[in-house]
Amino acid sequence: MTKYIGTTRAALVAFFALFCMYGTAQAAELKHATLALQWLPQAQFAGYYVAQAKGYYQDVGVDLTIRPGGPDIVASREMTEGRAQFATMFLSTGVELRAKGMPLAHLSQLVQHSALLLILKATSPVHDLKDLNGRPVGLWDNEFQLQPRALFHRLGITPRIVPQSGSLALFLLGGVEAASGMWYNEYHTLLASGLDPKDMRVFFYRDLGLDFPEDGLYTLDSTLKADPELCRAVVAASLRGWQYAFDHEEEALKIIMDRMHKDKVSTNLAHQRFMLRRMRDVMLGDGKTGNHTPPLGHLDQGDYDRVAAALLEQKMIQAKPAFTEFSRGGTR
């Protein structure tokens, strides 16, 4: 009996040693990379977290670290300052940065439709968006201003822009006539603050001729040139993660919730579930918008041209980068 246990233990030790050697050997072969996200962990990035949790990046030889964004962390800067090799950002941000000289390479387009909303209370006297002229409208900074400014330009109005904080308290308290919101996030926050859909008047930019694709996966020219395989691997594993997240909602939500708890980000399951479902809508199309939905990962040149034109019009860029210089990943 004793001998038997001894033998088993010996075998276990040997196996464990082998396993460690194998692991070390494999780890040595894995390429380290970091992906910077635009914002804190949430279902907006479910695909990446799921791919990481399911080991999809390891499967393609990448040891990927995900670096969440935040109020003070800008994904593109993480990349240019060398803390990350990959980053997610809006298409408009990507075009703008590329036009301003950042050697960005677009690898994959995840969100094909704009989720940006302009939200008014149903009690608001503003029924026509033109009536917003001169009234306080909460807008976020940077990329979130492109569509509103293009809209206001088109409508020929000049609302009073009130920088919008991370919360919707000002809107809820009546401090602004309209607030910005993402369909998958703030819209649900309002629902979860006691507003019913009938209490709100919601305008989708995607339905106002401003359906600009949003989250895409980017790298730097240098990274792409040095290791195109790595880029392809990260894109493929990320898409695989997204598909899995859509197919396994509860499991994906658990991965997200765990990550958010770990990072001490306040949230609740109802909110993340709503977000994941809306991500699916804006990534794969929900059939409610008449706009064409390109295949997942694919950047449509028409979309690119419209975003670049809006940026030019708003004088946010001086020249439009060539599409082929910008879009480097295709659908591979």
Partner 1 sequence: MHLPRGLSFRLAASILSATAVVFVLITAVTYQMAREALLNGANDNLKNLTRATVNRIESVLAPVLRVPRGVAYEMEEGTLSEAGMWQRERRVLDDNAEIYGMAIAFEPFGRSKSQEYFAPYTYRSPLGPMQTNLGGPAYRYQYMDWYQIPRELGHPIWSEPYYDQGGGNALMATCSVPFYHMVEGKRQVAGVVTADVSLQWLKRLVDSVMVLNTGYAFLLTSTGTYVTHPAEGVPFNETIFSRAEEHNDANLRSIGQDMIRGGSRLVETTSLHTGKRGFLCYAPLPSTGWSLAVFAPRDELLAEVNRLSLVTGGLSAGGFLILAIIVISLSRTIISPLRRLAGAARAVAEGDLAAPLPEVRTHDEVRELADSFAHMQGSLATYIKDLTVATASRERMESELRIAHDIQMGILPKLFPPFPDCGEFDLHATLNPAREVGGDFYDFFRAGEDWFCFVIGDVSGKGVPAAFYMAVAKTLIKAVAESTKKDLAAGPDPGSIMTRASNDLAQDNESCMFVTIFCAMLNMRTGEVRSACAGHNPPLLLPAGTGPAQWLPVPRQPVAGAMEGVEYSTASFTMAPGDTLLLYTDGVTEAMNPAQELYGEERLSHFAESKRGFVNARAMVEELERDVTAFANGAEQSDDITILALRYLGANHDAGNCRA
Contact flag: residue 123 with partner 1 (CB under 8 A):
no
User: Contacts with partner 1 in 179-218 (CB under 8 A)?
Assistant: 191-194, 196
Which one of residues 75, 99, 176, 179 is an interface residue with partner 1 (CB under 8 A)?
176
Spatial contact of 281 and 110, defined as CB atoms under 8 Å apart:
no
Closest residue by Cα to residue 38 from 64, 74, 72: 74
82 binds partner 1 (CB under 8 A): no
Binding mask 268-307 for partner 1 (x = CB under 8 A): xxxx------------------------------------
Q: Which stretch binds partner 1 (CB under 8 A): 83-91, 98-106, 159-167, 322-330?
A: 159-167
Nearer Cβ to partner 1 (138/297): 138
Contact 170, 107 (CB under 8 A): no
21 part of the interface to partner 1, by CB under 8 A: no
Q: How far is CA 144 from CA 12, 33, 48, 122, 244, in A?
A: 57, 28, 23, 23, 29
Asked if 258 interacts with partner 1 (CB under 8 A), we say: no
| Phi, psi angle pair for 327, to nearest 5° | -85, 110
Q: Is the dihedral of CA 121, 123, 127, 130 positive or negative?
A: negative
- 17 is a contact residue toward partner 1 (CB under 8 A): no
Least separation in angstroms between residue 171's CB and partner 1 is: 10
> How far from 67 is each of 213, 241, 263, 317, CA to CA, in Å?
22, 17, 11, 28
Which CB, 168 or 283, lies closer to partner 1? 168
Pick one of 136, 149, 248, 254: the residue that binds partner 1 (CB under 8 A).
136
Minimum distance from CB of 322 to partner 1 (Å)?
33
If we measure between CA atoms, which residue out of 287, 285, 323, 116 comes closest to residue 212? 116
Contacting residue, 134, 174, 197, 302, with partner 1 by CB under 8 A: 174
Which parts of this chain interact with partner 1 (CB under 8 A)? 71-72, 136, 162-170, 172-176, 191-194, 196, 261, 266-271
